[in-house]
Amino acid sequence: MKKFILVIVALVGITGLGTAQIEPTFEQMKFYTPDWQGERDAGGRPIVHAELLERLLNLSIEEAWGVLRGEGYHNQFEGGWEMIHQDKPFVGRALTVQYMPNRPDITNQIKRVGEKENRIGPSNSWPIDMLKEGDVYVADGFGKVIDGTLIGDNLGNSIYSKSKTGVVFDGGARDLEGLSKIEGFNAFTRGFDPSFIMEMMVTGINVPIRIGRATVSPGDVVLAKREGVIFIPAHLVEKVVITGEFIALRDKFGHEMLRKGIYTPGQIDTRWTDEIKNAFLKWLDDNPDEIPMSREELDEYMKNRTW
């Protein structure tokens, strides 16, 4: 019980005598995201620019996963989802929410904090009110599906109108038929059930959470595809994008060379010789439309590349 109470205190965010809040302070947010040096929103959450998000959507889960592993981030992917649409991937910045099984005394305290912060409606609507375009609502619902449905089609419409993305719930959702009619919206959940949310409480918004075997910090960039969901720390998104784009270019060149019989699989799949490197550089010059980044970005990346 002592450990449980300590977790609640940390997530609700005791900041002084008799003062509590649902979200971290700006300084606490910087503590959760120490390596991000770019723009932050008013609450301190990292803001990765939309241009990088658009480029990231073109990459595969494997390409992103490989870069994160190389940087020492081994716990950023989670699979095994049910989704509304298997063919509608999405990307965005994580707005995280921590749910726990209901406990009346703590729920009452959280309601009081919500009233002081002028939050409207039940606590599961609070994070939806905060969403901005490009955000992804990511919730740890501790895997609860029956009586753990965090949204139905009404909240789903509100979410999409604000974020233009989707949701990732380690929990359930209801009204699959209604949600599937929201053009552009997708949801990755543990299951769908007609029941309403019951015996759950919000204990933190924009705090680090667990989604299966992944740890998610507020402002992480969410890449959700049929294979699963990967959560990319904000400070690594640019590296993931440029590295992934380079690997995709390298693969296109390699596949073309193999189809034409110019090189063997053994030559393409091992460390490239100077001859192959030079052929690749010429291929880039001859196919500028294949290059997704600026040529300056590509040249800078290749300077430090171990072939």
Give the chain's end-to-end CA distance (angstroms, integer): 54
Domain with 194 in it: 2-47+79-232
Same-domain status, 103 and 128: yes
pLDDT at 19: 58
pLDDT at 13: 44
Strand partners, 139: 97, 169
Give the domain-ending residue among 197, 232, 267: 232
Does a structural domain hold residue 20? Answer: yes
**Segment 238-258, tens digit of pLDDT:** 999 999 999 989 999 999 999
pTM of the predicted protein model: 0.88
**Segment 58-74, tens digit of pLDDT:** 999 999 999 999 999 99
Which two structure tokens, joined as six digits, stand for 283?
Answer: 């291929």
Contacts of 84 (CB under 8 A, 6+ apart): 176, 179, 180, 185, 186, 187
Give the domain-ending residue among 177, 199, 232: 232
Whether 173 shows a pLDDT value over 80: the answer reads yes
Q: Which among 54, 61, 80 is positioned nearest to 165, based on CA atoms? A: 54
Taking residue 89's Cβ as centre, other Cβ atoms within 10 Å add up to: 18
Question: Of all residues in the chain, what percent are helix, strand and coil, respectively (each to 5)?
Answer: 40, 25, 35
Helix (H) or strand (E) holding 305: none
pLDDT at 305: 78
CATH code of the domain containing 194: 3.50.30.40
pLDDT more than 90, % of the chain: 89
